[in-house]
Structures are given as structure tokens and as C-alpha cells.
Amino acid sequence: MRSPLLTLGLALLTAMVCALAVWLVQRGNLDEIIGAPRAEPGDLLYPEFRPDAVARIHVRGSGAIAELVRADGGWRMDQPWADRADSRAVASILQFTQALRAEDAGEVAETDRSATGIQPGGVRVRLFDEDGRRLADYSMGAGTPWMASVRPDPESDEVELVPTTFIETRDRGRRSHVYICAGDISPLFRNGLRYLRDHRPFFFNPAATRKVRLDTPEGELSIEREHPSQPWRITKPLELSTEVRAMRALLQGLHDLQAVEVRDSASSAADSGNGPRIRIGLTPFAGDDDAAAETTLTIQLPEDPEKSLAPADVSDRPGAVFKIPVKPEPDLVSLADLPLSVNSLRDPTLTNLNIASLATIAIRPVTGSEIHISREPGRPWMAAVADESGAPSETFPANERRLFELLNAVTTSSAVAFETDAAVDMAPWGLDRPVLTLAFLGRDNQLLELDFGIDGRGGTFANRRGTPTVLRMEDDFLDVIPVRTFEWRQSRVWSISKVDLTRLVRLRTGKPAELLEYDWMHETWTAERGGEDATPELVRSRANFLLDRLVGIECDHWLAADDSAAFTALAEPALRISVFENEVDDLGDKTGEIRRDIGFAPAPEHPGFFYGIRLGGEHPFLIDSETVRNLALPLFEDE
């Protein structure tokens, strides 16, 4: 007969086997009972760790204990302060845990604890999921004298050397293992764990921000936008466009603004002291169900200008007092780095023209004729000079280089300073009698007029007619605006017809005269040099190249008809070319011969350019040196 004790023992053994089987099914192994195998060099300490599964982090170290909990919109601290946790510090802990990889390993019993820095009361990190299950548990020791080779990009062969740290796993079944692992986040756990507390007063998404309100000793300023895709505009104290880079600097600066110190106080920092205050309010775009509330940072500026820190508090973190840097600090954003005034945020560009919608440009210099530049849709720009009555008289194709310079000047040039937004009398800036007015008329009949004046000291100023705003421009701004009729002539100096060309003569200083005759029908050349036949020595590809360059010579700038420097240089040109063409009637019959002459001379007053003029031409011009070198290229094999 079987003994009752034997039966009981078999039942207990069966229960234990079943329990182990259940455990094995749930856990996948028996590591917590018999101990996990030691990670070998190259193995991850927590191969199944997922940062997004972490809901709570417990940190002990530096004489303090911190509890960090995942909350809506970020991480919060439950202790030692009830405040917002620094999301960057949390991300560092999660990434460090996920990347823990054994570079070397040993048993605790075999390890000199004084060498590892792993001591009771030292840094210990525990991470839990939302159900309270422990995902990782380890102690951090001192840094080791060795460096680890890490490949930041798995697809790259580049290797980076990083410091290593002693790590002791404290999970069940792994307490006897000490590892050397790459990386070191121990600075996060110094000074009573205060670096786990968010030292940034604002925690916001710049892309989701609708309004920024600035209340400074200079006055109140509001910047708003109706939609994230729309540009920011200043709405108070004036309706103004903003400068994109300045707004980006403001939002990024507020996002990165960081206190040197954060402490708890029952009283508000904003209510202490008698000095001026700065208030910065941020309002996000509202959700579907509720209106978005403003988060306000109030900074009490120090009365002593020598002090570099200012106390501040923020509306959504009551009881926290921030020490904000007022003056520039290394590796920190300070108040001095933030654009907080109207003039530092407003768009300094002279205009924001929609060039595609332009129909007419009027140029009205104080001396000289009024010039109209206009175009019909799909047609080139035309220039017209107004007569004494103001009606357009002479009309010709506009110089598109000058047009580009004009539009570039008024759409990209920035004001040096904003003189005033409340001008009544324009005389102090010479704007009561402008030296130049530019008028831009759109196809929708919208008119923009810009007046430019010069004060008694030679400063240049601009005003959009009908507004009280005066802008100071660079003193040489008006130099790039073409206001003389001849400047608007087309860049092309002449047009040569290859079909009608019969011959050309070229004279170069110190070289014999060259005569080239051309037969367009057969594309053949004959040549004389110094009155003698040189056809066998002529390089025909060079002659064809010269002809291509001659067909449509374009200049860079037309010069005044009385430019003495140009005429003095062109009295003895370094290069002169005469071109002869057949003159034909409407039926194509030859009626005579046309001769055109052009000369070039160095322009020492304009480096990189030559003077040029057509024989009988009224205006000389400037042409780039490379074009002249192409026109003067050697044509014969023996050159």
C-alpha cells in the first residue's frame, strides 16, 4: 500500500513541475530562478528592451531619489519635485539603456568594487512598463580608462571612440554580473539629480504655435498667424510683415531658453523686485473641443546692470523659479540672444513685390525724363520715355539686365535701420522732395510708390508713399537703380546676318590687318593677312567661332554720351572690327552694301571690362574682357 507521505510528495513535485512549465511558457526561460547567462562581449544587456514600453523610471543617486512618469505630452517628475522632467534627459536614459552592450564582463565576487565605483547608495536606474513590470535594473559605476569603438551609422564604415562605464545588472538572476559598456550618462545624475528636472521654462512645438506675445519695457508686441502654413505677421503695435530668419531665431531661442538654476519657492519671482519686467506669452493652435490657453513666462529684470541672472516663473509650472541668463552665456540661450523688439522682428526688405503680377514700372528721377517699363502678357518688356507732357514717346525693347537689377534691388535690399513709424513731416529725410520715385502697378491696378530722399548728411532714406514709415537705406543704394534713358537700351550692340555677311576686316594693335571673305552658301572662307593671301594658314574652326561671337555682341552697361574716360581710351582702340553685309530689298535683291565698325579698348577704371563703341554710335559701353578676348583670338596656324 502506497504511503500517504509518498503520495503528498509526488503531488507537490507535480505541482512544482506544472508551475515551472507555466513560468517557462510566460517568461520563455527560467532566468529569474536559475540565473540568466552572462552576456558575452558584443551582446546587448537588454536585447528585448523597447524605449516606447517604458512608463516609469526610478533613479537613485547623488543622495536623492527621482520618480519620472510618462504623461500626456511628455514626462513629469513625482519626486523629488512635482514638476516637468527634462525630456532630453529621459531620452538619454532610454537610449543608453537600449544600447547597453557588453565590451567586457566579470563576476561580482571577482571584481574590485573600489575600482568599478559601484557602491551601495550609488547610481541605480530601474525602468518599468505601465503594468509595473521591471524592464531593466542596473547600477552605474565609474568611467573606465578604456575607449570603445562604436559605429554611429550601421551602414557606414566610420568608427567613433566613446568612453566606457562599469555597469552592474541588478535584475533577478543577473545580480552577479558586472560589465564594461560603451557610453556615459553619469553627469545626468549629479547635484541631487537636478538635471533630470527641465530647466527650460517653455515646452512647446514651434510649428504648432499660433501667437507670440511680447510685453517689454519698450511696449507690447504681438505676432500671429492664422494657420501653420501661413507667414507670421506683427499685429501689434502695427500691421507689419516679419523677417523669416528673425522669427525662426525667436521661436528656436524660446524653445532652447534654459535656466542656469531651477528652485522651488512659495512666492512668484515676478512679484519680487522693482525693476522692469519682460513677459513672453505663447499660444498654440486650439484643438477641436477647447480653446488654447496662453503659457506666460514672466522675467524680473535685475536692477543692477552687472547681474547676469534674472528670476522668472512660468504660468504652467507654479512654484518653480528659474534663474534665466540675461547676458550671453557659453552653450546657453540668453535674453540678449532673443529678438524681442519690433525692429528686430519686422521684415527689413524694402518691398515684397509679386513680380509675376507687375504690369508697369515708372521711374521718376528728379532730373531727367520719366521712364516707363511695361509688358503685355506673354510679350517682352518694353521701355518708353515720357515727353515733356508726360506721355510716352520713344519706345524700345527694355534692357532685361537693368530690369533684373532694379527688381532685385527693391525686393532683396534690406533697410539699415527703421527711422520712424510716425513721420508727419518728411523734410528731415529729404522725402518732401524725393530725388527718385519708383511706382509699381499690378495687373489688378494695385499701386505701390516708393519715394527716396537724401538728407543734409548724404544719408539715403525710403518711404512707401501714404505711410508714416521711414527706412534708412545703404548710402549707395540709388547707384544700382538705372534712371537714365540710355541705360535701358537693349544689351545687344548689333545683330549681324550670316546670310548677308560678305567679309570682315580685323585690326589688332601690333598685328597686320586681316581680311576674311565669307561665302555663306558654301560655308567657305578666304583670308588675307597684311595684303597677302593667307587662306592655307587660316584655321576655319576659329573663323567660324569668331563669326558666332560677332553675330550678337552684348554689352554689360551702356555709358553716358559724355564719358570722357571711355572716349579717351577708344581714340586708339586695341581691337577694331569692320563687318560688310549685302543690303537687300523686300524681294531679296541686292541693293547695296552695309558697313558696320566696332572698336574696343582696355578700361582700367573698370577691372575685368573693356570699353567699346560702334562707329558713329552715340553711347560707348562696357563689355566683359572674355568676350573681347574671343573676338581677338588668333585665326592662323602660325600664331
Whether the Cβ atoms of residue 126 and residue 79 lie closer than 8 Å to each other? no
Whether the Cβ atoms of residue 135 and residue 143 lie closer than 8 Å to each other? no
**What pLDDT, on a 0 to 100 scale, did the predictor assign at position 468?**
93
Whole-structure pTM value: 0.72
Which pLDDT band holds residue 596 (cuts at 50, 70, 90)?
very high
Which pLDDT band holds residue 157 (cuts at 50, 70, 90)?
confident
pLDDT over 70 at 573, yes or no: yes
Tens of pLDDT, residue by residue over 236-274, are: 988 889 999 999 999 999 999 999 999 988 666 655 667
In this structure, the dihedral spanned by the alpha carbons of residues 620, 625, 631 and 634, taken in order and rounded to 10 degrees, is: 140
* Residue 484 or 110, more confident: 484
Whether the Cβ atoms of residue 166 and residue 138 lie closer than 8 Å to each other? no
Which pLDDT band holds residue 392 (cuts at 50, 70, 90)?
low
Closest CA to 57 of 102, 92, 101: 92
Number of H helices, E strands in the chain: 10, 36
Q: Name residue 451's beta-bridge partners.
A: 437, 463
- Number of CB atoms found within 10 A of residue 634's CB: 11
pLDDT over 70 at 29, yes or no: no
- Number of CB atoms found within 10 A of residue 12's CB: 10
C-alpha angle 560-565-568 in degrees, rounded to nearest 5? 115
pLDDT over 50 at 15, yes or no: yes
623 phi and psi, to 5 degrees? -135, 145
Q: How many residues does the chain have?
A: 639
**What pLDDT, on a 0 to 100 scale, did the predictor assign at position 25?**
45
- Number of CB atoms found within 10 A of residue 479's CB: 10
3-state secondary structure of 581: strand
Cell 597684311 -> residue: 530
Whether the Cβ atoms of residue 501 and residue 580 lie closer than 8 Å to each other? yes
Cell for 572? 586708339
**What pLDDT, on a 0 to 100 scale, did the predictor assign at position 23?**
42
Closest CA to 628 of 579, 576, 587: 576
Whether the Cβ atoms of residue 168 and residue 180 lie closer than 8 Å to each other? no
When pLDDT is averaged across residues 219-240 and rounded to a whole number, the result is: 93
3-state secondary structure of 468: coil
Whether the Cβ atoms of residue 598 and residue 577 lie closer than 8 Å to each other? yes
User: 439: Cβ–Cβ under 8 A, 6 or more apart, which residues?
Assistant: 360, 361, 362, 364, 447, 448, 449, 450
Tell me the DSSP string of 163-200. Answer: EEEEEEE-STT-TTEEEEEE---GGGG-GGGGGGB---
Average pLDDT across the chain, whole number? 88
What is d(CA 509, CA 536) in angstroms, rounded to the nearest whole number?
A: 23
- Number of CB atoms found within 10 A of residue 403's CB: 19
What is d(CA 578, CA 614) in angstroms, rounded to the nearest whole number?
A: 10
When pLDDT is averaged across residues 60-71 and rounded to a whole number, the result is: 94
pLDDT over 70 at 31, yes or no: no
Cell for 95? 537610449
When pLDDT is averaged across residues 154-183 and rounded to a whole number, the result is: 83
When pLDDT is averaged across residues 293-316 and rounded to a whole number, the result is: 92
- Could you tell me the maximum CA-CA distance found in the chain, to the nearest angstrom? 143
Q: Name residue 162's beta-bridge partners.
A: 148
318 exposure class (CB count in 10 Å sphere: 0-12, 13-18, 19+): exposed
pLDDT over 60 at 58, yes or no: yes
To which H or E segment does residue 599 belong? strand 590-602
Adjacency order of strands within the sheet including 447-454: 392-397, 382-386, 371-374, 358-365, 436-442, 447-454, 460-464, 470-473, 417-420
pLDDT over 90 at 419, yes or no: yes
Which has the minimum average pLDDT: 5-14, 105-114, 343-352? Answer: 5-14
412 phi and psi, to 5 degrees? -120, -20
User: What percentage of the chain exceeds 90 in pLDDT?
Assistant: 65
**What pLDDT, on a 0 to 100 scale, did the predictor assign at position 24?**
46
pLDDT over 70 at 30, yes or no: no
